[in-house]
A and B are shown apart, each in its own frame.
Chain A
Amino acid sequence: MESLSLFHEINAKPDEYAAKWKTETGGKVIGNFCSYTPEELITASGALPFRILGTGADISKADAYLQSYSCSLVRGALEDALAGRLDFLDGTVFPHTCDSIQRLSDIWRMNTGFPFHADLVMPVKLDTESAGEYMVSVIRKFRKDLEKGLGIEITDDMLKDAIVTSNRVRKNLSRLYAVRKQNPELINSSDLHTIFRAAMLMDRKQLADSLEPIAASLESKTATAATKKKRVVLSGGLCSMPDVYKVIEASGGAIVWDDFCTGSRYFEGFIDENGDLEKNIAEKYMERVACPAKHSGIFSRGEYLVEKIRENNADGVIFVFLKFCDPHSFDYPYMKEMIEKEGIPSMLFEIEDKSSSEGQLKTRCEAFMEML
């Protein structure tokens, strides 16, 4: 698809894109780690929110700061920072999620030397009133930290503008998911993932504008005959990962949904554009489907997965997450059990690093598709 070339380009060289954006606009680039980063505030400040996913380069420098039992995202990101591959950043934002990210924030603050550093110590519980109030205070504080750190004032108008843009982005990304669900042949998941990866570091206005025609053109295509491929839902987290989508599609699977922070967790939920904007932002992050490092009831993630399986007529689930990822590893057994009760088979793939896992994944996927 012609119109996707922009995304492929950006995805191939995200650092070049960000550096170029910086020279052209004179704006600041703010790195961030998680789908809980309230990007809207960064966009409102005039800066570019840049999701750090790790380039997957070999680890040499980070070994002096991190033990081998931290996940490849944490190690890879630090490696990139220490090796100068993130030199275009003016600062970094760490929403509090897992224990490894918590410590990475400290190590990052002490060793990388970017001018701006913000810890967003959000509540871990998302299901109580007091946690909701605390979340609002975290958002308000982040706005002040940004203003102070970047030396600008974020007016309500600027914030509203950023929220409108981010809602447009979310809307269009969800349209792409809807197309794929209807007809996985129309857009392959590898392309869709490329769009997502690029989306998390692109100028958000440019992004919203570019997504619009893609979504419209896909929607206008008439559905071909229903796919013969096996319909698969992905669950887990893949920040820095090989292109699992390609591998799964090549072995006869069609991905119809995912529960990933680089997928559905990124676009689900809209922010009310009127009223107390900080409160609206907080509400969105409280209500959005939870990541496993957060708590919103003891069955919430399992129930969400079952719902998505039903909604998307899935034949199977592939759990994919990084080795050493505690939150996902703890959730896996019960989620697997819940979907088994629904008669849905699953497979687990733990990824250690990019290079070592592609071959293995291919073999396992082929066997799994066979079974489905």
Chain B
Amino acid sequence: MTSPENKTDVKPDTKKDPDKEKRKIKSDKKMREIMTAYYIEAKTPKEQTGKKIAWITSGGPVEPLQVMDVIPIYPENYGAMIGASKMGVELCEKSEEMGYSSDLCSYARADIASSTVNGGPIGGLPEPDMLICCNNICGTVLKWYEVQARYYNVPLFILDTPICHTEFNSDMKRYVVTQIQEYISFLEKICGKPFDYDRMNEVGALSIRGQALWQEILDTTMNRPAPMTCFDAFFHLAMIVTLRGTQTAVDYYESLLAEMKERIAEGIGMLPHEKYRLVWDNLPIWYRLRWLSNKFTDRSACLVADTYTSGWCSSMKYLDENDFLGSMAEMYTRIFLNSGTDIMADNIIKMVEKYEADGVVFHSNRSCKPYSLGQYDMQKLIQKKVGIPTLMIEADMVDERMFSESQVETRIDAFIEMLK
């Protein structure tokens, strides 16, 4: 996920290069303002806002929280901010002192440590009144949220979404649908007020609208030259994750989409020369975004799409516009990360075709086993089915100790050679 801090490694140019200026996305500023306002509200004392705070996993159903006027906070988003501001190592080390193994997910490690020292770029997250954990992304979040439930001594709701290796069956559906009802009862109890089903319809419609806009924005890179890259998507993603189901997100994405269309009309691409088009798989490497982006740009390689940011609209097809609440069980269960490796590979292949990519870059992310294990098979499937080169980068999304600049650079060079 992404953050306002996300571009802290962008060094301000001393002399403004007019060509670079032209390529900059103007909406960035607005995005930063919105996200700052969101965190300011979240960190305002609860007596003043009168709102409760829920910590929720990135793939969790946030819409009911919006209905209940609860502020959703995403520790994973904060993990990304910690990574982008290069504060990850310090916090990871702290968690290791607390007894957590250095092999665990670095979002989890950074967050668990940050809670005890108010660490990270905004001095820690506001304390939760409840925890909402949806395991559609991994089993790690279950254990992580158990840790936080013990630490903060607040209620934990688990939305258990069975993994769809090869199928989503009616037993699974019944189980998740029932849990959505349990989720609503849980919220009613904690918030001390009834759930407003009319409001749910509005929030649901905004969520669908936001997801559709986000998909449209991502699709603008089908154009040559692409008006943005996945590095920009990493940045603008924060809104669909944290403010999904709000008018703010819809308005923002409308203006961002308009800007992208304008860029296309004017022929402005993100890269001065776009020669190769690539797809990225897995989470970003937050502490090296700028560096990586430059490496690819220098080699005229444009990362036109990625599996990560599209994850927040990948299962929109299962949503029923007229029955958001009824269909959200399926939508949340069938996200691509909660499905079999072959389905995940198909997803990439479809992206390769849709965005006319020349290669795929895999981030083998030692933090994230459900995302990374199986990538070797995906590589083979891609080679077999579409016959394009792939690159595997070994790293970690937050823990810089796992990154070897020279090794990655050598691999990128060898990969670009293969594209030629």
Contacts and interface: CB of A to CB of B under 8 A. Distances in A.
Nearest to A140: B171
B166 A102 contact: no
A295 B165 contact: no
Contact of A121 (B146, B163, B342): B163
A324 B140 CA distance: 12
B57 to A, nearest CB: 13
B373 A124 contact: no
Majority secondary structure, A binding face = helix
Given A67-B364, A105-B165, A107-B377, A298 B175 contact: no
Interface in B120-166: 135, 138-140, 142-144, 146-147, 149-150, 156, 158, 160, 162-166
B143 A134 contact: no
B296 to A, nearest CB: 23
Given A123-B160, A124-B139, A103 B373 contact: yes
Interface stretch (A170-178, A251-259, A327-335, A355-363): A327-335
Interface in A111-132: 111, 119, 121, 123-125, 128, 130-131
A292 B104 CA distance: 14
Interface in A47-78: 64-67, 69-70
Interface in B360-375: 364, 366, 369-370, 372-375
| 9 shortest interchain CB distances as A-B pairs | A330-B143, A333-B99, A103-B373, A106-B341, A137-B171, A134-B175, A329-B101, A99-B369, A121-B162
Contacts of B171: 134, 137-138, 141
A100 B104 CA distance: 12
B175 A69 contact: no
B291 interface: no
A326 B106 CA distance: 12
Nearest to A332: B99
B369 A330 contact: no
A308 interface: no
Contacts of A329: 100-101, 103-104
A230 interface: no
B171 to A, nearest CB: 4
Given A106-B340, A134-B175, A330-B146, A99 B370 contact: yes
B178 interface: yes
A333 B374 CA distance: 30
Interface string B279-319: 00000000000000000000000000000000000000000
Interface of B: 98-101, 103-105, 108, 135, 138-140, 142-144, 146-147, 149-150, 156, 158, 160, 162-166, 169, 171-172, 174-175, 178-179, 182, 340-342, 364, 366, 369-370, 372-377
B340 A124 contact: no
Contact of B369 (A124, A133, A141, A326): A326
Contact of B366 (A69, A104, A124, A350): A69
A225 interface: no
Contact of A131 (B108, B147, B160): B160
Given A106-B340, A134-B175, A324-B103, A298 B146 contact: yes
A107 B135 contact: no
18 contacts: A67-B375, A70-B369, A99-B369, A99-B370, A106-B340, A107-B374, A109-B166, A110-B341, A110-B377, A124-B135, A124-B142, A133-B175, A134-B172, A141-B169, A295-B158, A330-B108, A332-B101, A333-B100
A304 interface: no
A99 B140 CA distance: 8
A96 B163 CA distance: 8
Contacts of A265: none
A332 B375 CA distance: 29
Contacts of A193: none
Nearest to B182: A130
B99 A121 contact: no
A326 B373 contact: no
A160 interface: no
Interface string A314-347: 0000000001101101111110100000000000
A279 to B, nearest CB: 14
Contact of B150 (A138, A298, A336): A298
B376 A121 contact: no
A267 B340 CA distance: 32
Contact of B139 (A64, A111, A327): A327
Given A128-B182, A293-B139, A333 B98 contact: yes
B160 A124 contact: yes
A133 B176 CA distance: 12
Contact of B174 (A134, A326, A330): A134
